[in-house]
Structure 1
Amino acid sequence: MPHFLSLVDRVLSSLFKRPEPHPPLPSMPSIIPSTKFFSSSVKSDFEAANKKYAATFNEAHLPSPPRRKVVIVACMDSRLDPAKVLGLDLGDAHVIRNAGGRAVEALRSILISQQMLGTREIIVMHHTGCGMQSFSDHEFRSKIRKELKEDVDHMAFLPFSDLRQSVLDDVSFLRKSPLVLDVPITGYVYDVKTGMIEQVEEPVESESEPSSP
């Protein structure tokens, strides 16, 4: 186990190298929302909803390993529900979510999913209109220093500018990682306007025809 954890640490350390600084970008709006957007009724609403859910709950028989043996890495965006999008039921899959649906950040959970709970396929799902395309690491770090008076230069927030390339990058990272099993890995872009998914694949280079003698 110590050797395994050491390997995980080395892989993650190599990925989170401090990037070169970006030039200043236009200022972002405050990341700290006004208190007027918070409702004191959220807690009671959730508790009331849970009572209704529990009243008809009949899924106690579900095993811990996911039935479909698949792990899904998706963005945390509230417009995206991976289970509904892919027609999954409770207990079918592991769904790992983070800002941008980045595979690097999901690696710890993928390792546990594969090694301890037997998943044997991976889906990477990013989406249109992703907020991770709206800022750079440099800009966000500057914002944190201003708003929270904290230095987060050691953290990589993994924004991206090209949506399709971000999917290809994450699929490639997982396929090349020595910590991820050799399993099917598919990348998709989810369209928040249509509800459709589109597979993203590396373009296939056509072989040139031999020239005539």
Structure 2
Amino acid sequence: MPENVYILIFRTRPSLPRHQTIKGLGRDAPQEAAEMPHFLSLVDRVLSSLFKRPEPHPPLPSMPSIIPSTKFFSSSVKSDFEAANKKYAATFNEAHLPSPPRRKVVIVACMDSRLDPAKMLGLDLGDAHVIRNAGGRAVEALRSILISQQMLGTREIIVMHHTGCGMQSFSDHEFRSKIRKELKEDVDHMAFLPFSDLRQSVLDDVSFLRKSPLVLDVPITGYVYDVKTGMIEQVEDPVESESEPSSP
């Protein structure tokens, strides 16, 4: 590309053409573009992204620094995964498994890498549907739960949150501000579903599912998984527990 021509691609600015060419911006670009402050900021942003390694993101409250890009690691992960899959496929003998889960249960859990629902709950391949998202939030999992129940016959739901969850470290407002600052995008229409009270978040999700007209009247149990001990603890609403009839 000639040094005095840059092509800028605008993906989120409908008022500007998708491709805009600016000529005459060479080594003295800042001086020559002084009369075009709007384009200058765009040029600076594009050139910074092209020729400089991104600065690390500032950490969220109580959270470690976030890696700004996976491009530096994707090739090694790709080769590792492909090699591991070859070993897995070489001894694969589960082609007989049906699509509906054998134990007719759907588990909604956090995406945290320290959680392995199959190991912690003694599940085998084909036993359950496991739906994972940030925080293990039921609202976000509703689409999958509906398909799981109506198309594949699951008849029980487990909600699994955990200690040390990153969703407790920020608010919707803080995260929206972060996205606005770093990605230059407005995500005010999105709910990221953070929470401050771990046990209450489980109760809220269980209550949401029980009250939803889209969810069948099936057993729904909420748990907190302790990442330090590996133990799960059931979370029950004291009001609902008191209202339940005692066993004879």
- TM-score category of the 2 structures, normalised to the smaller one: 0.7 to 0.9
**Deviates most, 2-11 or 169-178:** 2-11
* 1:33 shift after superposition: 2.8
* 1:41 shift after superposition: 1.3
Deviations 1:91-113 (A, max 9, x none): 00000000000000000000000
Compared CA separation, residues 197 and 30, structure 1 to 2 (3 A):
closer
* 1:120 shift after superposition: 0.1
Compared CA separation, residues 25 and 5, structure 1 to 2 (3 A):
closer
**Higher relative contact order, structure no. (Cα contacts within 8 Å, ≥ 6 residues apart):** 1
Does the aligned pair in 1 maintain the 2:55–2:68 contact within 8 Å? no
Does the aligned pair in 1 maintain the 2:62–2:169 contact within 8 Å? no
Unpaired stretches in structure 2, ≥5 consecutive residues? 1-35
**Deviates most, 6-15 or 87-96:** 6-15
**Deviates most, 3-12 or 132-141:** 3-12
Does the aligned pair in 1 maintain the 2:163–2:225 contact within 8 Å? yes
* 1:40 shift after superposition: 2.9
2:220 is the counterpart of 1:159: no
CA distance in 2, matches of 1:154, 1:16: 33
Question: Could you say what secondary structure the match of 1:199 adopts?
Answer: strand
Compared CA separation, residues 21 and 167, structure 1 to 2 (3 A):
farther
Question: Could you say what secondary structure the match of 2:150 adopts?
Answer: helix
Number of aligned residues: 213
* 1:142 shift after superposition: 0.2
Cα root mean square deviation, aligned: 12.2
Deviations 1:9-31 (A, max 9, x none): 99999999999999999798764
Question: Could you say what secondary structure the match of 2:161 adopts?
Answer: strand
Q: Which runs of 4+ in 1 moved over 3 A?
A: 1-32, 34-37, 204-213
Find 1:78's aligned residue among 113, 118, 140: 113
Compared CA separation, residues 15 and 106, structure 1 to 2 (3 A):
farther
Find 2:241's aligned residue among 191, 198, 206: 206
* 1:47 shift after superposition: 0.3
TM-score w.r.t. length of structure 1: 0.81
Percent of residue pairs identical: 99
Does the aligned pair in 2 maintain the 1:22–1:136 contact within 8 Å? no
Unpaired stretches in structure 1, ≥5 consecutive residues? none
**Deviates most, 169-178 or 18-27:** 18-27
Find 2:142's aligned residue among 71, 82, 107: 107
Compared CA separation, residues 205 and 92, structure 1 to 2 (3 A):
closer
TM-score w.r.t. length of structure 2: 0.70
CA distance in 2, matches of 1:159, 1:16: 35
2:187 is the counterpart of 1:149: no
Does the aligned pair in 1 maintain the 2:59–2:65 contact within 8 Å? no
Structure having the higher Rg: 2
